[in-house]
Amino acid sequence: MPNTLKYIVDQSGQRTSVLVPVKVWDDLNDSYRKLQAKLTIFNSIQNGLKEVDEANKSGNKLQTLKEFLK
């Protein structure tokens, strides 16, 4: 089976390592990169919302999207 994981065990039978087929590894890395990109976007949105909240609390006037696009 090409997607079978293989484990390396020590003398006591405890798993110490795993061999992963390259296709599985590549798929996992691709998924990981996509999740990292999503996390970056979500963190940026969260930071932006915090900035808006802080500006509103301090009474600072923020630029609207319409003003920004002009």
For residue range 16-67, list pLDDT tens digits in order.
Answer: 999 999 999 999 999 999 999 999 999 999 999 999 999 989 988 888 889 9
Domain map of the chain by residue range? 22-58
DSSP codes of every residue in 9-47 = E-TTS-EEEEE--HHHHHHHHHHHHHHHHHHHHHHHHHH
Q: What is the pLDDT of residue 1?
A: 56
pLDDT in the model for residue 70: 87
Residue type, 18: V
